[in-house]
């Protein structure tokens, strides 16, 4: 529901072609809500002089799941009431033409008019359970971040200490979100500044110090558990894992690290064996063993739920890419989320479409796949792209290309090959690993 509009930069008068969205339907475009609340809707940057320009346009906001219908007509274009109603009527027509019949309910005939954009955003947040107090707190946080950002480096420590009580988890999270948004707005330089200040705020504040210490301890525990798992080796039996868990039993952090690192070991058979162990143990130990078993059950469920959520998010993103009128732009916008899980979901969907003979869907999915692969390739470091290309060539051809080009990349090529080797071995890609080993030897030789 976006259209192009030609405007003029208020600063340099340069003509700008902007994409303008006037109708936001959260059901059909879930990301539009975040775009709107983040102030990124109908905002462009003049390509000529860099001035940020907000385009004043009427906005109709619809969230079917909350029966929320809001409309805003900007003050910049004062319209007589009659004309305002005409504008709103047109937006309503655009919205309702896309809604299924069963979604047509009473509230759709009575949009609530917001006087300001901020007021519209507040109403949307309130419908999410965000109270005005919470919004004020959030505004205070943003103001304090701005204060920290503009404090000279040598004074930051004392300014943070003066505000020590205000630095908590939500405060640091607000800084992270701010940095994330800046990356999305193509300002990685600003994001880096925010993250650098965030790191110093964490170091100087009581909350941050406690958090850093907790993280350090947790990391140490994960390292220790990982070492013990490694010591068990590939021949580890379920009985070994039961032993380890019983030894960790009193330490919930250690159990959590164990399940997180070796989820596949905690399968149905593991828990059956565990139950048998409990049954044959001396009576005075059973309660303790039973409680460890119960903790492990809960931890595996937790890990699985997290995994499922990740998969669901990937599936939603795929849906969005498939439905997008501009796949390239959508792929570009979602680069950070195009990870292994996403690729696995995409491949599974292609297979499923082929299996059920859905030719149209399968073609569309393959198109998305090609774009994603191309975009990932474009974003790769040159060495990585080269290694990737080598691995997809026949071996003699790859060795020839490597001999010719290895010197252009230098020793970093071998380092990158080692990184790729780790990824491939974690995925159990035996054939590619062999090929990579041969190429690595060639690379070392060529670089001597």
Which residues lie near Zn ion (CB under 5 A)? Answer: 9, 11-12, 14, 46, 48-49, 51
Q: Shortest approach of Zn ion to residue 181 CB, angstroms?
A: 22
Q: Shortest approach of Zn ion to residue 74 CB, angstroms?
A: 21
Nearer to Zn ion, 51 or 96 (CB): 51
Nearer to Zn ion, 52 or 188 (CB): 52
Pair of tokens at residue 426: 């974690």
The whole-angstrom separation of Cα 57 and Cα 73 is 7
Residues 6+ apart with CB under 8 A from 364: 322
Q: Shortest approach of Zn ion to residue 187 CB, angstroms?
A: 17
Residues 6+ apart with CB under 8 A from 221: 251, 253, 254, 257
429 DSSP assignment: -
Nearest to 62 by CA among 32, 20, 89, 84: 32
- Taking the CB of residue 55, how many other CB atoms lie within 10 A of it? 18
Nearer to Zn ion, 9 or 265 (CB): 9
The number of residues in the chain equals: 448
The whole-angstrom separation of Cα 427 and Cα 421 is 10
Q: Shortest approach of Zn ion to residue 9 CB, angstroms?
A: 3
Query: What's the CA dihedral at 263, 269, 273, 276 to 10 degrees?
Result: 130
Q: Shortest approach of Zn ion to residue 42 CB, angstroms?
A: 17
The whole-angstrom separation of Cα 351 and Cα 370 is 15
Nearest to 335 by CA among 190, 192, 184: 184
Nearer to Zn ion, 12 or 250 (CB): 12
Q: Shortest approach of Zn ion to residue 14 CB, angstroms?
A: 4
Q: Shortest approach of Zn ion to residue 45 CB, angstroms?
A: 9
Nearer to Zn ion, 44 or 368 (CB): 44
Q: Shortest approach of Zn ion to residue 179 CB, angstroms?
A: 26
Q: Shortest approach of Zn ion to residue 362 CB, angstroms?
A: 45
Query: What's the CA dihedral at 395, 398, 399, 403 to 10 degrees?
Result: 180
Nearer to Zn ion, 47 or 119 (CB): 47
Nearer to Zn ion, 43 or 261 (CB): 43
Nearer to Zn ion, 13 or 112 (CB): 13
Q: Shortest approach of Zn ion to residue 48 CB, angstroms?
A: 4
Nearer to Zn ion, 19 or 315 (CB): 19
Pair of tokens at residue 49: 């002089």
Pair of tokens at residue 336: 């950070």
Q: Is the C-alpha dihedral spanning 270, 272, 275, 280 positive or negative?
A: negative
Nearer to Zn ion, 9 or 439 (CB): 9
Tell me, rounded to whole angstroms, the distance of Cα 293 from its chain centroid.
33
Nearer to Zn ion, 52 or 119 (CB): 52
Q: Shortest approach of Zn ion to residue 190 CB, angstroms?
A: 19
The whole-angstrom separation of Cα 338 and Cα 340 is 7
Residue 16: enclosing H or E segment and its boundaries? strand 15-21
The whole-angstrom separation of Cα 209 and Cα 174 is 18
The whole-angstrom separation of Cα 86 and Cα 93 is 10
Alpha helix positions (H), 185-251: 188-204, 206-232, 238-248
């Amino acid at each position: 529901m976006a259209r192009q509009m030609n405007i003029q930069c208020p600063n340099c008068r340069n003509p700008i072609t902007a994409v303008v969205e006037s109708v936001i339907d959260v059901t059909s475009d879930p990301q539009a809500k975040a775009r709107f609340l983040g102030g990124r809707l109908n905002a462009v940057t003049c390509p000529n002089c860099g001035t940020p320009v907000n385009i004043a346009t009427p906005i109709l906001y619809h969230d079917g799941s909350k029966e929320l219908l809001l409309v805003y007509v900007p003050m910049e274009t004062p319209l007589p009431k009659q004309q305002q109603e005409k504008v709103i009527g047109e937006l309503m027509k655009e919205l309702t033409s896309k809604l299924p019949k069963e979604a047509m309910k009473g509230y759709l005939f009575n949009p609530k008019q917001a006087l300001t954009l901020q007021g519209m955003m507040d109403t949307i947040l309130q419908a999410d359970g965000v109270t005005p107090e919470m919004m004020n707190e959030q505004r205070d946080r943003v103001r304090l971040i701005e204060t920290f950002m503009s404090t000279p480096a040598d004074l930051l420590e004392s300014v943070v200490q003066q505000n020590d009580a205000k630095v908590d988890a939500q405060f640091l999270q607000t800084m992270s979100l701010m940095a994330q948004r800046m990356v999305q707005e193509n300002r990685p330089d600003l994001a880096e500044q925010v993250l650098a200040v965030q790191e110093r705020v964490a170091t100087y504040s009581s909350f941050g110090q406690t958090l850093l210490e907790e993280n350090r301890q947790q990391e140490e525990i994960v390292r220790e558990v990982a070492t013990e798992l490694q010591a068990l080796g590939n021949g580890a039996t379920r009985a070994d894992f039961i032993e380890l868990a019983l030894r960790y039993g009193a330490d919930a952090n250690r159990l959590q690290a164990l399940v997180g690192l070796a989820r596949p070991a905690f399968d149905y058979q593991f828990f059956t064996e565990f139950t048998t162990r409990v049954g044959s143990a001396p009576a005075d130990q059973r309660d303790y063993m039973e409680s460890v078993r119960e903790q492990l059950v809960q931890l595996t469920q937790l890990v699985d739920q997290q995994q499922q959520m990740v998969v669901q998010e990937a599936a939603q993103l795929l849906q969005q890419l498939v439905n997008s009128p501009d796949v390239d732009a959508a792929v570009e916008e979602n680069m950070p989320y195009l990870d292994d899980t996403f690729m696995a979901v995409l491949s599974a969907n292609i297979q499923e479409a082929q299996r059920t003979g859905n030719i149209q869907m399968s073609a569309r999915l393959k198109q998305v796949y090609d774009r994603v692969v191309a975009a990932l390739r474009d974003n790769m470091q040159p060495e990585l792209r080269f290694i990737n290309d080598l691995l997809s060539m026949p071996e003699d051809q790859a060795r020839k290309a490597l001999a010719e080009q290895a010197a252009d990349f230098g020793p970093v090529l071998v380092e990158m090959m080692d990184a790729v080797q780790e990824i491939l071995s974690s995925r159990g890609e035996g054939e590619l690993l062999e090929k990579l080993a041969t190429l690595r030897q060639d690379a070392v030789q060529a670089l001597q």
